[in-house]
Amino acid sequence: MKSRSSVPTSLEGLTACECLKLYQRRQLSPVEVVDDCLSRIDANNPMLNAFCLVDHQRARSAARASEGRWMKGEPAGVLDGVPVTIKDLTLTRDWPTRRGSLSSSAEGPWTDDAPVTARIREAGAVILGKTTTPEFGWKGVTDSPLYGITRNPWNPELTPGGSSGGAAVAAALNLGFLHQGSDGGGSIRIPASFTGTFGFKPTFGIVPQWPASAMTTLSHLGPMTRTAADAILMMNVIARKDARDGYAGPPYPGLEVNPAKTLKGLRIGYSRDLGYVKVAHDIERVTDIAVDQLRALEAEVVEVNPGFANPVKIFETFWFAGAARILSRMNKKQRQLLDPGFLEGAERGLTITLTEFQEAEAMRFELSALMAKFHEDYDFLVTPTMPIAPFPVGRNEPDDSFTGWVDWTPFTYPFNLTQQPAASLPSGLDDQGLPVGLQLVGARYSDTTVLAAAYAIESRLGHLSMARANIPQPSPER
């Protein structure tokens, strides 16, 4: 082994990109990194509940195999030895995919990897386990009848958001370096905002899916990480074609991990509220300050609203219909085991008529056309990711003034309807000392442009390092 003088004394702050450089120099072993991750998972998971499955034996075996390849100078792929997690909505060979539901069974055989899991394995990554999700990923917080409540590491009494809440907690505490999330209405971006991490929802069809989500063309798979550079690295792996995906988009061109740190020549439309959202004053203040930094990066920033009314009814038609599809496959005993909130939404979906669904499709088409027109004038739309701060666990809404999870996530779900790429990155802290997210939305198939811009913005804001330093460490006694 070469000199270890440049190896960080603590591995919990390491990124995937840094890790790979140290592997290449033989200054760090995948065995050391995976052991460190597993140790910290064991310490943190009993209280925070980020993982529903951790396979110590297989992870350590994979790490030893990776170490052998690196010692020979023959890595299996671009993620060889990097610790990764998979959300419990995504198929994994030899591990159950319970989708957070008591209505499911752990009995196999579990013989298939989803495309995203297969690409991650092929790249040599070490999959540590599976992260928690609400039942079928149905809501914007993370708790389920099967696995219980997932908590925010900034304050365990608060929610990390959802539905990729387990992945967000794992990213916030670096329990693994790359985390797969899914987003049908904000499920990557909501928890990224609430935990001070980076989340990216690609254009629909860029990252292949199989089996198709019950939410069909609302659902996107993407990376959840600590840095934009790590998300770029992960996207270069998971955005590869798979014949099983019937909705596949054009080939993903890939992106260098270190793009330029400038927004020169880009025109950005900034909307504080989309014209209809009530935003907390401290979140608006933090977002305004962050947007000023976009100007410092030489972007032209224009305050503008995109010009659409709240599309909540359109979204709920698709969402409830998808839930009804899941419900229609269940017997009476399974239905009795469901989260009451999911069951209520699914039963509403059963009442949707074909005419109502087709009308929602037509309105969705018009919304997509409006945003395509918007992006003829603006490279990006920037908004807060969330209008509110994280709220106490054990409830689906912050308070009784909200009628459902979609009611308090108004900045995210419109861009599932339009299928556009959207990133959430940390922009600062609110008056409670909790993280605030900045959402960056691009035109369809401008994924690499969004990621490159996020990388530049992140380098200017510098809040990721601050967020890492300020996450309170959970106490085992709680």
Q: Which two tokens stand for residue 142?
A: 């993370």
163 is catalytic: yes
> Which helix (H) or strand (E) segment is 314 a member of?
helix 312-328
Length of the chain: 478
What one-character DSSP code corresponds to residue 87?
A: E
Q: Which two tokens stand for residue 214?
A: 């019950």
The residue written with tokens 């290449």 in the block is 24
3-class secondary-structure state, position 360: helix
Instruction: Point out the catalytic residue in the list 144, 163, 182, 427.
Output: 163
Instruction: Point out the catalytic residue in the list 101, 103, 144, 187.
Output: 187
87 is catalytic: yes
CA-CA distance, 163 to 214, in Å (whole number)? 15
Compute the radius of gyration of the chain from its Cα atoms: 21
**Number of C-beta neighbours around residue 121 at 10 A:** 19
Please give the angle made by the CA atoms of 349, 354 and 360, to the nearest 5 degrees: 75
Exposure of 111 by Cβ count < 10 A (0-12 exposed, 13-18 middle, 19+ buried)?
A: exposed
Q: Which two tokens stand for residue 15?
A: 């990124």
Instruction: Point out the catalytic residue in the list 29, 87, 164, 201.
Output: 87
3-class secondary-structure state, position 259: coil
Exposure of 460 by Cβ count < 10 A (0-12 exposed, 13-18 middle, 19+ buried)?
A: middle
The residue written with tokens 């509110």 in the block is 388
**Number of C-beta neighbours around residue 9 at 10 A:** 5
Active site residues: 87, 163, 187
